[in-house]
């Protein structure tokens, strides 16, 4: 199904606070829809499938990188920030995405990777050529120690040292990720200016905002001090797999630097020139995620929203963990604005990660729609896709290849979107897909679920609609969460609307006292329970209770 593009001269009505409480749908373009049969999803494929996204009722899309790239990290290594990689299409195709999305009432956010570029970026090619060229200081360079070893002990998140030797300069360059992803030196004002020019280019082209990749990695300590060891009791595998030595350091010097706050103010000032433009930052930190989120979104002069990894980690998301996360958010980021996600292109899909049965998948999205903050959904989660098993010979992700088999990488959450249950490659492509379609994803395809009124796809639509019709859920206040065993409950309020929300996050029944006052049950379409005559609310396994005060 193709939707005719709207005129590029007809902008959407602009609500400067549209992002507050918005539901954002992430599209990983390589795996969404292939329009030309080469096995790789592309921009015109996104155009073709945008009516599906609009049918969910979401507010915006976030498109993972589609810029020119050698694809060492599948687009997160950018060689030209001002153009589209030919495998995804052309700038004209991107314009068609913008026009079609806006015609359908969808905002468009794109992924910006500003902490590092590709080693094939002309900026780096020039920078590495000598110590005295015009871009010599555009990347983080350092002399070796007297014994020739790297300048400090910093580690790459992809494993091994974060430094790579460059013979032309007889220096090391910093790479917090792959060796093919050298870190830009944002201490240099010219680098900041150029990155802001990149953002301006895409804003002028019509985007409504950005997802900023690894936003807390933009600056490194200028003194290049060693990171201290992280005590074993503080280690966790929220950000990197347990087998990665990255978890053994406290990364106080290689990221999270205070200079980032002023750059984010500059970035926000640029956004302010474009009414309604907004940004969400990815905070990659396993120890101080909530604190950084608060710093980066407070005061109204930096980012509008950030997401950390509290709900993206491997440990089961119990009612106790949700409560603890919101308690820490209230303590460390009282002015901050969180963006919650259960899945994305970098982590195992949450249905597999937490081993959730179908009823639990419904409960978690219902709960998400009732929490204060903005929300990100990852393509395919509305279908209940579980992590795909990808054979070693089919792996594409260098991260998985590096740590196989203890960590199988990110390919399992990046397999193609299944559109048609009876078609070749589930309707994703007429050619051989870059990753195989998982056999157990065919029965979950969009067309099969459209024809099943009880399918998870329809529950996602109902849950998103429920959020949209209640102002208290989109941007209202939220009371502290009360925990009663496996049941958590809280209130949302704005203006004259007062809502009560309770969730049983377990496969066992649970009970809580009904709130005082007169409350009307709502959310029957979401399997909401009602108070009983005994003044209690009895919740079945994975059941919510949703009420509005009369």
Q: What is the CATH number of the domain that holds 242?
A: 3.20.20.80
Residue 124 is predicted with a pLDDT of 98
Q: Of 449, 468, 487, at which residue does a domain stop?
A: 468
Residue (of 139, 136, 144) closest to 165 by Cα position: 144
Burial class from Cβ neighbours inside 10 Å (0-12, 13-18, 19+) for residue 239 reads: buried
| 240, two tokens | 């990197």
DSSP state of 347: S
Strand (E) or helix (H) holding 448: helix 446-450
Residue 389 annotated to the active site: no
- Cβ atoms of 271 and 301 closer than 8 Å: no
H helical segments located in 205-277: 260-272
Please give the tally of structural domains in the chain.
2
Residue 532 is predicted with a pLDDT of 86
- Are 400 and 506 in a shared domain? no
- Are 502 and 442 in a shared domain? no
Q: Of 468, 495, 511, at which residue does a domain stop?
A: 468
Residue of 132, 147, 273, 406 with catalytic role: 273
| 257, two tokens | 């630097």
Rounded Cα distance between 34 and 44, Å, is: 8
Rounded Cα distance between 456 and 448, Å, is: 11
Residue 335 is predicted with a pLDDT of 87
Residue 66 is predicted with a pLDDT of 98
Residue 450 annotated to the active site: no
**Would 184 be classed as within a structural domain?**
no
- Cβ atoms of 34 and 428 closer than 8 Å: yes
Query: Where are the extended beta strands (E) located within 363-485?
Result: 374-378, 477-478, 482-484
- Are 519 and 386 in a shared domain? no
Residue 536: domain span: 476-549
- Are 248 and 339 in a shared domain? yes
- Cβ atoms of 450 and 56 closer than 8 Å: no
- Are 256 and 367 in a shared domain? yes
Specify which residues 125 forms β-bridges with.
Answer: none
Rounded Cα distance between 494 and 18, Å, is: 16
Compute CA distances 5 → 61, 88, 175, 528, whole Å. Answer: 16, 18, 41, 40
Q: Of 468, 488, 517, at which residue does a domain stop?
A: 468
**Would 176 be classed as within a structural domain?**
no
| 2, two tokens | 């193709």
Residue 12 is predicted with a pLDDT of 53
**Would 265 be classed as within a structural domain?**
yes
Residue (of 20, 56, 154, 50) closest to 449 by Cα position: 56
- Are 436 and 539 in a shared domain? no
Positions in the chain short of pLDDT 70: 1-13
- Are 317 and 354 in a shared domain? yes
Write b or e for each residue in 152-186: b if 16 or more Cβ atoms lie within 10 A of its Cβ, otherwise e: bbbbbbbbebbbbebeebebbbbbbbbbbbbbbbb
- Are 513 and 417 in a shared domain? no
Residue of 59, 73, 213, 346 with catalytic role: 213
- Cβ atoms of 48 and 33 closer than 8 Å: yes
| 382, two tokens | 């509305």
Residue 370 is predicted with a pLDDT of 98
**Would 78 be classed as within a structural domain?**
yes
- Are 406 and 487 in a shared domain? no
């Amino acid at each position: 199904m193709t939707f005719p593009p709207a005129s590029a001269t007809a902008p959407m009505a602009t609500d400067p606070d549209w992002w507050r409480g918005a539901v954002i749908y992430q599209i990983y373009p390589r795996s969404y829809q292939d329009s030309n049969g080469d096995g790789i999803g592309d921009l015109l494929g996104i155009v073709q499938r945008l009516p599906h996204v609009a049918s969910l009722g979401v507010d915006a899309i976030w498109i993972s990188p589609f810029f020119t790239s050698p694809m060492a990290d599948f687009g997160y290594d950018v060689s030209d920030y001002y153009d589209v990689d030919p495998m995804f299409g052309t700038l004209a195709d991107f314009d068609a995405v913008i026009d079609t999305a806006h015609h359908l009432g969808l905002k468009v956010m794109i992924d910006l990777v500003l902490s590092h570029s590709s080693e094939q970026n002309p900026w780096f090619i020039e920078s590495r050529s000598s110590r005295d060229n015009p871009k010599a200081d555009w990347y983080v360079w350092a002399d070796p120690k007297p014994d020739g070893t790297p300048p400090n002990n910093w580690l790459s998140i992809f494993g091994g040292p974060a430094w790579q030797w460059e013979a032309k300069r007889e220096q090391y360059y910093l790479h917090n990720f792959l060796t093919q992803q050298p870190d830009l030196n944002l201490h240099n004002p010219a680098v900041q200016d150029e990155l802001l020019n990149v953002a301006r280019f895409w804003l002028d082209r019509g985007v409504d905002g950005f997802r900023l990749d690894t936003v807390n990695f933009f600056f490194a300590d200028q003194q290049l001090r060693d990171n201290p060891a992280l005590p074993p009791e503080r280690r966790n595998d929220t950000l990197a797999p347990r087998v990665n030595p990255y978890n053994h350091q406290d990364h106080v010097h290689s990221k999270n630097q205070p200079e980032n706050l002023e750059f984010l103010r500059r970035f926000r000032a640029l956004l302010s020139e474009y009414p309604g433009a907004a940004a969400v930052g990815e905070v990659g930190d396993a120890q101080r995620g909530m604190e950084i989120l608060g710093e980066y979104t407070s005061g109204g002069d930096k980012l509008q929203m950030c997401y950390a990894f509290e709900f993206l980690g491997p440990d089961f998301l119990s009612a106790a963990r949700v409560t603890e996360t919101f308690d820490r958010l209230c303590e460390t980021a009282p002015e901050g604005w969180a963006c919650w996600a259960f899945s994305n292109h970098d982590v195992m899909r949450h249905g597999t990660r937490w081993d959730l049965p179908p009823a639990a998948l419904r409960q978690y999205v219902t709960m998400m729609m009732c929490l204060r903050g903005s929300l990100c959904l990852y393509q395919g989660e509305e279908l209940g896709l579980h992590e795909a098993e990808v054979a070693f010979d089919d792996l594409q992700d260098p991260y998985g290849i590096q740590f196989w088999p203890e960590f199988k990488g990110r390919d399992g959450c990046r397999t193609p979107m299944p559109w048609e249950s009876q078609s070749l490659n589930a309707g994703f492509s007429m050619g051989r897909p870059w990753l195989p379609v998982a056999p157990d994803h065919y029965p979950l395809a969009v067309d099969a679920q459209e024809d099943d009124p009880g399918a998870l796809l329809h529950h996602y639509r109902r849950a998103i609609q429920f959020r949209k019709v209640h102002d208290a859920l989109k941007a209202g206040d939220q009371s502290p969460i009360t925990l009663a065993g496996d049941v958590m409950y809280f209130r949302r309020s704005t203006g004259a609307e007062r809502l009560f929300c309770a969730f049983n996050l377990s496969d066992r029944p649970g009970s809580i006292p009904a709130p005082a006052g007169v409350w009307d049950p709502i959310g029957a379409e979401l399997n909401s329970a009602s108070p009983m005559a005994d003044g209690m609310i009895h919740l079945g396994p994975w059941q919510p209770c949703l009420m509005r005060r009369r």
